[in-house]
Each structure stands twice: as structure tokens, then as C-alpha cells.
């Protein structure tokens, strides 16, 4: 029945079957090929009189079951095929759940998606109390829903509201929380996980222990135990999903319906609905693009950022010059890793401010229980600062986050080289080409760009910029350090605006042009939010700071001419002294950090004066988005990015490009290169010089080419 080569093996210890899942490869993932293995194991447990109960353990060190095999899902070409996968999962887990002999899940490590659904089908769950043990149903993050019975079993185990929270957000549950929720029955030290699981299995078999229903609170009884209460819960959940997704993601809505179906018509109907919804969702563009992003980010994590595989220099000591919002932001994420951080700034007051900013970030994490008091103390102890370069001598990597001025950057670089000649010098510039900064270096091979996005503790992207002289080791070091800081890292070639700001500029300029023509600020913002951006372009400008945007815009206009020229309203707004949120006044007014109405003075600064007119959403969207897509292609053409997926990941994580659209290149593929060119040419006729299609795009349109394969695995 079980061979040494089988991914699932069974041994019997004193009448208890120990089922070990150990798939080939680094983690345990579920695929349809495993079903027969599990089936025969379950049959043996059922049949074999020498077996009274079973435990299910993982053969991997730090994962239990990490979920379903994404490759298998990505290869699916029809809804019925995907539905069949879900139904096969139902059959298998129903078989498990229906066993007359108790099966105890002994969980240590990641217990995700299909893995958690397996655990839910077991009769008892013991979880190791270890940071590596995480439970989640992350399917909605891939545009899917839990397809192996999770939508039915979870609410019945932990209650409707708690289950909705997990299923609709895909959030990760830590061990302690899993116990409180009732997701697991026992929480134990990993050293005794197996022993306790064996003991529980025996007790359940001997009926000296039985499952006791989780006690439910008064609110839960009122809301969940009757159809009216549940209707309220479902309505609230739907409202919350709509508020977060604006209806752009079908998966959480489908999950809600499927769960409701189960409550209304029983588990069997619920499972049936789950399988159908799973099949339907697997074919949605949203699912396709989210799966693509999963692949693209996974691929990025695997590569070191350069063609040659050079080992990064280990970074233990991080120096930061400039403790402003960016510098402090970098410090705040670095101290949460095992990095020692030393910051230099011009005055002790600025150092105190830097420490306050770091503390704010840590305090917020502490409030959200992401840090313990001890972790908070250790993190704060990792950072210190001063007004000279004491403490920089042995830094492995030094990031400058000073004022955006070439002479200032040069002075900092020279100072650094004098005390720490071997350190990697990374500039956090958003506008100045790294090669220009490296002109002052005696070792330009150690100079690199690390373009973080603000606020650093929240923004997931890091753009690493390799100048021509930058060595592979330097790039690899910046990439590795960025990953240590928890960032998704893209490596781009040096050039004005690098990648992210370069594709952002024509988008923002197009929004400015619309303002000049009489469009209203909230209308443009709303149209692009409707297209899927988290905030509109004017809100984004206010957040970034108009002075910063103006500086960046000028550099790009100088480099690329007409298509990057800022709209006249943007220039006038900047001249008017509006700084955006930080100054309390930009396109909108801000009162103590809260956004108010449009600043009434803004329209007077536009070419057509105060009068405003309506533009169609579609017109606004295409006029703003198309030049961004076009510029992304130019970046690929110019070698700024070396593959479309780098550009897609960069736009999604750096700009908030709608994830369900996959990124600029995926969007072009979806629209078709020919259609993009047609629309660009039409716009170029209206606004000469601003919408000229990139040569590469024209060629692709002519030959009907795509950036990604039309079917199957995207990468």
C-alpha cells in the first residue's frame, strides 16, 4: 500500500497510525495526483483492525501543508476542470471526515489554504506554539475561494463572523489566536506535538475524551444562531468587502454567497456551490492576474538581481545619512530585523525626531500585537544616532537619504568614503541618476541606488538601481538587504526617474492636463479609483508632496522632452507654495492630517479658470493610464527593466497599479497591443507629442505579439 517512494506513508505505533505527508520538493503542496495516495491510506485506516486512530504529521521541518499546488491551478483551462479539482478535494476530505476512527492533525509550520482545509476535516487539531506555525485560508488573495470544503467547515468550527474574517481577507492566524478562535484544540510546544497528538488520538478512540462544542458568546448567539442575525452578519460583511474592493474582486463576494448557501440549504448544497464558484473564479481575469503576480514576485525572490550569480555581502550594520521621514522609515524597518542601525543627521533635534519616528512605527506594531514588549525594546536598542560619522566606520551598507541635491549627495559620498571606504553606498534618490552621484566616488563600483517608497514601513517595493559602474556584488548586496527589510525588490537600470517614477510621470501629467481643460479634482481621482487605483492621481501628488513631484518632473522633462512636460496647472500649483498633505494644502486641504475638500484656490490656477466641466470616466482613465502603459514599454525598450514582469511587479507594488489587472504589461496584453496603439494614436492626434506609441508597441501590434503567453503558466 505504502512504499518508501510514496509522498504519504503510514506506520503504526501502538495501535495508532502515524500518517506522514512528505511530498517531493521543499514544501508539502496538494495536487490531484496525491488523492489516490491519501485515499488508500484512509481506506487502510478504516479497514485495519490493528489501527484504532491516526495522526497526520508533516515530513517537512517547518511546513505542515502549504496549500494547493498553484501550477496545477494555473494550467487549468476551463471552469469545469477547476470545478472538478474542487470536487475531488471534497470527496477526499469527506472520506477523511467520515472515518469512524479519529484522525488528529499534528500541525507544525505553515498550515495554509488546502492544508488548513485538510486539518479542518480531521477530528482534532493540535498546533505547535511556534512562530513558524501559521494558519490561513489565503485563496481570496489569488482571486479564488477555499475549494476543499473550507467555506463550509470553518464557520461551523469557529463561528460565522470569525470564519468570514479569515476567508474574506485571507489573513494569517498566529498560534495563540488559533487556539482562542477554536481553530485548533490544543496548543503545545513543538517538542511534544507528536506525543500529545498520539495521546489525543488514543483518548478519542477510547472515548475518554470527546469534542466539546466551543462556547459561544452572547453576541454570537444572537447574530449567528438564527437566519435574521446571520442576514445582518452577511450584509455587514458584504458592505465591508465592497468598501475595500469597490467590487473589483469577485472572489470574496462569491465566498460570501457560498457560505450563505450552506447556512440556508445545508452543507451538501454549500459544498456544491463552493465547487461551482471555485470553477467560475478560476477562470476570472482577476484570478489569472493575481496568480500571475504570485508567480512574478516568487520569481523575483529567487533571482539575485543580476545576470551573474554573485553572493551578496552580509549586512549586519546599516548606516543611514539623513534621519528625515525616509531615513527614519528605513531605520524603522531595519531595527525589526537583526540589523544595527546608526543614523547621522545635522542636529541632535533631528536625531531625536528620527528616534521618535522609529518609535512611532514600533509603537503602532506593538498596539497591533505584532511585536512583544521585549521585541519592541530590542528593536529600539538597535538604533542610535549622532551628528558625526561615529559608528559608520564598520557599516556594511550606508544609505543616504539627504536633500535631493547633487552637490549635497556628493559631499555625503565623499564623507562616507573617507570613513568607510569598503561599505556599499546606496542613494535613496528618486530623481538623480546614480551615475551622476557616483561621479564623486573613488570606488563607483560600490555606489548603487535604493529607491524606497514612502512611508517605508508600509510600502512593499524597493527599486534597486544599478549604474553602469555598479558591481554585481553591490547590486546583490542591495537586493539582499532590501529583502531582509521585507521588501519586494526590483532591479532596474540607471536612468532619469528609474522605472517607477518614470511611468508615473506621464500618468500624473495627463491628470494635470485634464485639470487644465476643466476637469474637477475629485472627478479625476474618482475615475482612476474606479479603474482600480487605491487613490487618485491628485491625492497621490498630495501624499508624495508637490515639491518632490515637481523636482522629479523637471528631471524627467529635461530628459524626455514633450511627453514628460508637466501640465501648466501642476507647475503653477507648485509655484503657489502648495506642498500637499505635509503642508496642509495641495489639491485638497488638510486639517491635522485629515483630508478635507478641494482647495478652492486650485481651479483659479488652471488655464480655463474656475469653470469646471464633466469628462467621461473612460476618457479620463484612458488618457491617464495609456501613457503609463506606453512609458512602461519604453522602459523595457530602453533596458531600464529587463523583463515585463519586473515592470508589472514594480507598478503594482510601487504605484498601486490595480493588482487585478496584473500590471502595465498584463494590461496591454489584455487590451491587445493593436488596440493600445490605436487608442494612443487617436490621443496623439488630439495632444501631439504626448501619446506617441513606443516603437516596440507598434511592432507588437503589427505582428500581433504579446508580452506573456496567452494560456497556461504565465512565467
Active site residues: 463
Helix, strand, coil share (%) of the chain residues, nearest 5: 55, 15, 35
Q: Is residue 351 close enough to count as binding another protein by CB under 8 A?
A: yes
For another protein, the binding residue among 394, 582, 595, 713 (CB under 8 A) is 394
Find the part of the chain contacting another protein (CB under 8 A) among 247-255, 386-394, 586-594, 681-689. 386-394
Find the part of the chain contacting another protein (CB under 8 A) among 51-59, 78-86, 251-259, 344-352. 344-352
Q: Is residue 381 close enough to count as binding another protein by CB under 8 A?
A: yes
List the interface residues with another protein, window 360-379 (CB under 8 A): 377-378
Q: Is residue 80 close enough to count as binding another protein by CB under 8 A?
A: no
Residues 6 or more apart whose CB falls under 8 angstroms from that of 405 comprise none
Length of the chain: 715
For another protein, the binding residue among 172, 199, 216, 384 (CB under 8 A) is 384
Q: Measured from the CB of residue 498, what is the shortest distance to another protein in angstroms?
A: 32
For another protein, the binding residue among 111, 355, 402, 636 (CB under 8 A) is 355
| Residue 256 to residues 80, 164, 222, 238, 514, Cα–Cα distance (Å) | 21, 8, 20, 7, 39
Q: Measured from the CB of residue 448, what is the shortest distance to another protein in angstroms?
A: 22
User: Which of 363, 543 has the CB closer to another protein?
Assistant: 363
Q: Measured from the CB of residue 473, what is the shortest distance to another protein in angstroms?
A: 22
Q: Measured from the CB of residue 295, what is the shortest distance to another protein in angstroms?
A: 36
For another protein, the binding residue among 36, 77, 352, 372 (CB under 8 A) is 352
List the interface residues with another protein, window 558-597 (CB under 8 A): none
Q: Which of 691, 644, 635, 634 is nearest to 670 (CA)?
A: 644
Instruction: Please state, in angstroms and rounded to a whole number, the distance separating the CA atoms of residues 588 and 594.
Output: 10
The CA-based angle 420-347-548, given to 5 degrees, is 85
- What mask of x and - would describe binding to another protein in positions 127 to 166, judged by CB under 8 A? ----------------------------------------
Q: Is residue 226 close enough to count as binding another protein by CB under 8 A?
A: no
User: Which of 353, 522 has the CB closer to another protein?
Assistant: 353
Find the part of the chain contacting another protein (CB under 8 A) among 353-361, 365-373, 454-462, 706-714. 353-361
Q: Is the separation of the CB atoms in 281 and 139 below 8 Å?
A: no
Q: Is residue 397 close enough to count as binding another protein by CB under 8 A?
A: no
Question: Residues 651-663, buried b or exposed e (16+ Cβ, 10 A)?
Answer: bbbbbbbbbbbbb
Place of cell 488596440: 675
Q: Measured from the CB of residue 423, what is the shortest distance to another protein in angstroms?
A: 12
Question: Residues 567-576, buried b or exposed e (16+ Cβ, 10 A)?
Answer: bebbbbbbee
Q: Is residue 350 close enough to count as binding another protein by CB under 8 A?
A: no
Find the part of the chain contacting another protein (CB under 8 A) among 223-231, 251-259, 340-348, 514-522. 340-348
User: Which of 75, 381 has the CB closer to another protein?
Assistant: 381
User: Which of 374, 611 has the CB closer to another protein?
Assistant: 374
Q: Is residue 313 close enough to count as binding another protein by CB under 8 A?
A: no
Q: Is the separation of the CB atoms in 320 and 344 below 8 Å?
A: yes
First-residue to last-residue Cα distance in the chain: 37
For another protein, the binding residue among 80, 226, 298, 390 (CB under 8 A) is 390
For another protein, the binding residue among 37, 52, 123, 317 (CB under 8 A) is 317
Longest CA pairwise span in the chain (Å): 88
Q: Is residue 123 close enough to count as binding another protein by CB under 8 A?
A: no
Q: Is the separation of the CB atoms in 108 and 132 below 8 Å?
A: yes
User: Which of 382, 572 has the CB closer to another protein?
Assistant: 382
User: Which of 338, 675 has the CB closer to another protein?
Assistant: 338
For another protein, the binding residue among 189, 195, 235, 356 (CB under 8 A) is 356
| Residue 266 to residues 120, 156, 221, 269, 274, Cα–Cα distance (Å) | 17, 11, 19, 6, 12
> Residue 46 gets which letter from DSSP?
H
The CA-based angle 401-402-408, given to 5 degrees, is 135
How big is the site for another protein, counted in residues (CB under 8 A)?
Answer: 20
Find the part of the chain contacting another protein (CB under 8 A) among 69-77, 209-217, 388-396, 605-613. 388-396
What does residue 530 show for φ and ψ, rounded to 5 degrees? -65, -30
Q: Measured from the CB of residue 428, what is the shortest distance to another protein in angstroms?
A: 21
Q: Is residue 91 close enough to count as binding another protein by CB under 8 A?
A: no
What does residue 339 show for φ and ψ, rounded to 5 degrees? -110, 140
User: Which of 14, 388 has the CB closer to another protein?
Assistant: 388
Q: Is the separation of the CB atoms in 331 and 358 below 8 Å?
A: yes
Q: Is residue 456 close enough to count as binding another protein by CB under 8 A?
A: no
What is the four-CA torsion angle of 95, 96, 99, 103, rounded to 10 degrees? 180
Find the part of the chain contacting another protein (CB under 8 A) among 172-180, 220-228, 281-289, 390-398. 390-398
Q: Measured from the CB of residue 327, what is the shortest distance to another protein in angstroms?
A: 16
Q: Which of 416, 334, 328, 343 is nearest to 384 (CA)?
A: 343
Q: Is residue 329 close enough to count as binding another protein by CB under 8 A?
A: no
Instruction: List own/partner pairs for 408-417 with CB under 8 A and 24 or more apart.
Output: 409/437, 409/440, 410/437, 410/439, 410/440, 412/321, 412/322, 413/437, 413/438, 413/440, 413/441, 413/447, 414/440, 415/321, 415/389, 416/319, 416/321, 416/389, 416/392, 417/441, 417/442, 417/443
Q: Is residue 442 close enough to count as binding another protein by CB under 8 A?
A: no
Instruction: Please state, in angstroms and rounded to a whole number, the distance separating the CA atoms of residues 471 and 480.
Output: 14
Q: Measured from the CB of residue 585, what is the shortest distance to another protein in angstroms?
A: 25
User: Which of 230, 313 has the CB closer to another protein?
Assistant: 313
User: Which of 349, 705 has the CB closer to another protein?
Assistant: 349
Q: Which of 373, 430, 378, 443 is nearest to 404 (CA)?
A: 430
For another protein, the binding residue among 36, 348, 372, 711 (CB under 8 A) is 348
Find the part of the chain contacting another protein (CB under 8 A) among 14-22, 384-392, 606-614, 635-643. 384-392
Q: Is the separation of the CB atoms in 657 and 625 below 8 Å?
A: no
Find the part of the chain contacting another protein (CB under 8 A) among 219-227, 387-395, 493-501, 627-635. 387-395
Q: Measured from the CB of residue 372, what is the shortest distance to another protein in angstroms?
A: 14
One-letter-per-residue 3-state SS of 123-187:
CEEEEECCCCCCEECHHHHHCCCCCCCHHHHHHHHHCHHHHHHHHHHCCCECHHHHHHHCCCCEE
| Residue 329 to residues 401, 426, 646, Cα–Cα distance (Å) | 10, 15, 24
Q: Measured from the CB of residue 385, what is the shortest distance to another protein in angstroms?
A: 9
- Which helix (H) or strand (E) segment holds residue 436: the answer is helix 434-438
For another protein, the binding residue among 101, 123, 288, 342 (CB under 8 A) is 342
User: Which of 375, 637 has the CB closer to another protein?
Assistant: 375
Instruction: Please state, in angstroms and rounded to a whole number, the distance separating the CA atoms of residues 170 and 155.
Output: 14
| Residue 108 to residues 25, 31, 372, 441, 504, Cα–Cα distance (Å) | 18, 20, 22, 50, 44
Positions in the binding site for another protein (CB under 8 A): 317, 338, 340, 342, 348, 351-353, 355-356, 359, 377-378, 381-382, 384, 390-391, 393-394
Amino acid at each position: 500500500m505504502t512504499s518508501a517512494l510514496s509522498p504519504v506513508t503510514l506506520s503504526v505505533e501502538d495501535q495508532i497510525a502515524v500518517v506522514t505527508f512528505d511530498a517531493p520538493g521543499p514544501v508539502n503542496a496538494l495536487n490531484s495526483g496525491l488523492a489516490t495516495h491519501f485515499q488508500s491510506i484512509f481506506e487502510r485506516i478504516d479497514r485495519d483492525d490493528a489501527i484504532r486512530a491516526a495522526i497526520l504529521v508533516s515530513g517537512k521541518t517547518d511546513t505542515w501543508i502549504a496549500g494547493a499546488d498553484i501550477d496545477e491551478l494555473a494550467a487549468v483551462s476551463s471552469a469545469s476542470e477547476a470545478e472538478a479539482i474542487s470536487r475531488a478535494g471534497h470527496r477526499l476530505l469527506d472520506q477523511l471526515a467520515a472515518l469512524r476512527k479519529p484522525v488528529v492533525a499534528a500541525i507544525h509550520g505553515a498550515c495554509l489554504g488546502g492544508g488548513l482545509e485538510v486539518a479542518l476535516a480531521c477530528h482534532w487539531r493540535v498546533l505547535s506554539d511556534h512562530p513558524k506555525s501559521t494558519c490561513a485560508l489565503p485563496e481570496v488573495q489569488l482571486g479564488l475561494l477555499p475549494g476543499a470544503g473550507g467555506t463550509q467547515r470553518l464557520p461551523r468550527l469557529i463561528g460565522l463572523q470569525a470564519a468570514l474574517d479569515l476567508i474574506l481577507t485571507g489573513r494569517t492566524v498566529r498560534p495563540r489566536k488559533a487556539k482562542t478562535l477554536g481553530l485548533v484544540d490544543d496548543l503545545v510546544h513543538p517538542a511534544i506535538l507528536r506525543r500529545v497528538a498520539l495521546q489525543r488520538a488514543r483518548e478519542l478512540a477510547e472515548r475518554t475524551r470527546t469534542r466539546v462544542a466551543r462556547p459561544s458568546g452572547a453576541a454570537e448567539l444572537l447574530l449567528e444562531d438564527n437566519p435574521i442575525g446571520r442576514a445582518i452578519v452577511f450584509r455587514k460583511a458584504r458592505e465591508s468587502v465592497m468598501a475595500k474592493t469597490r467590487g473589483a474582486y469577485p472572489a470574496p463576494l462569491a465566498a460570501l454567497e457560498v457560505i450563505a448557501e450552506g447556512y440556508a440549504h445545508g452543507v451538501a448544497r454549500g459544498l456544491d456551490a463552493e465547487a461551482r464558484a471555485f470553477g467560475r473564479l478560476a477562470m476570472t481575469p482577476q484570478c489569472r492576474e493575481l496568480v500571475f503576480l504570485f508567480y512574478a514576485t516568487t520569481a523575483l525572490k529567487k533571482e539575485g538581481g543580476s545576470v551573474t550569480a554573485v553572493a551578496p555581502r552580509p549586512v549586519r550594520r546599516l548606516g543611514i545619512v539623513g534621519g528625515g521621514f525616509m531615513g527614519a522609515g528605513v531605520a524603522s524597518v531595519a531595527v525589526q530585523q537583526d540589523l544595527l542601525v546608526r543614523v547621522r543627521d545635522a542636529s541632535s533635534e533631528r536625531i531625536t525626531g528620527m528616534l521618535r519616528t522609529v518609535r512611532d512605527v514600533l509603537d503602532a506594531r506593538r498596539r497591533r500585537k505584532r511585536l512583544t514588549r521585549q521585541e519592541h525594546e530590542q528593536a529600539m536598542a538597535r538604533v542610535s544616532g549622532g551628528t558625526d560619522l561615529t559608528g559608520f566606520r564598520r557599516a556594511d551598507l550606508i544609505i543616504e537619504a539627504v536633500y535631493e541635491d547633487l552637490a549635497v549627495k556628493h559631499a555625503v559620498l565623499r564623507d562616507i568614503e573617507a570613513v568607510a571606504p569598503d561599505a556599499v553606498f546606496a542613494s535613496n534618490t528618486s530623481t538623480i541618476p546614480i551615475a551622476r552621484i557616483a561621479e564623486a566616488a573613488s570606488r563607483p563600483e560600490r555606489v548603487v541606488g535604493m529607491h524606497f517608497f514612502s512611508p517605508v514601513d508600509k510600502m512593499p517595493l524597493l527599486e534597486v538601481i544599478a549604474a553602469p559602474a555598479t558591481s554585481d556584488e553591490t547590486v546583490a548586496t542591495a537586493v539582499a538587504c532590501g529583502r531582509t527589510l521585507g521588501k519586494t525588490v526590483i532591479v532596474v537600470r540607471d536612468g532619469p526617474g528609474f522605472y517607477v517614477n518614470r511611468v508615473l510621470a506621464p500618468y500624473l501629467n495627463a491628470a494635470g492636463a485634464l485639470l487644465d481643460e476643466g476637469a474637477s479634482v475629485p472627478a479625476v481621482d474618482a475615475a482612476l479609483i474606479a479603474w482600480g487605483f487605491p487613490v487618485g492621481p491628485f491625492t497621490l501628488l498630495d501624499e508624495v508632496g508637490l515639491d518632490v513631484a515637481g523636482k522629479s518632473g523637471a528631471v524627467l522633462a529635461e530628459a524626455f522632452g514633450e511627453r514628460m512636460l508637466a501640465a501648466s496647472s501642476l507647475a503653477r500649483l507648485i509655484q503657489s507654495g502648495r506642498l500637499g498633505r505635509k503642508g496642509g494644502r495641495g489639491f485638497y486641504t488638510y486639517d491635522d492630517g485629515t483630508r478635507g475638500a478641494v482647495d478652492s484656490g486650485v481651479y483659479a490656477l488652471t488655464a480655463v479658470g474656475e469653470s469646471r466641466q464633466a469628462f467621461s470616466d473612460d476618457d479620463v482613465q484612458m488618457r491617464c493610464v495609456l501613457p503609463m502603459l506606453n512609458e512602461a514599454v519604453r522602459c523595457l525598450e530602453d533596458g531600464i527593466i529587463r523583463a515585463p514582469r519586473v515592470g508589472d511587479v514594480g507598478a503594482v507594488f510601487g504605484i498601486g497599479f490595480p493588482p487585478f489587472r496584473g500590471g502595465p504589461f498584463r494590461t496591454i496584453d489584455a487590451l491587445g497591443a493593436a488596440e493600445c496603439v490605436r487608442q494612443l494614436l487617436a490621443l496623439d492626434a488630439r495632444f501631439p507629442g504626448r501619446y506617441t506609441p513606443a516603437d516596440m508597441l507598434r511592432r507588437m501590434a503589427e505582428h500581433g505579439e504579446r508580452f506573456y503567453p496567452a494560456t497556461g503558466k504565465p512565467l
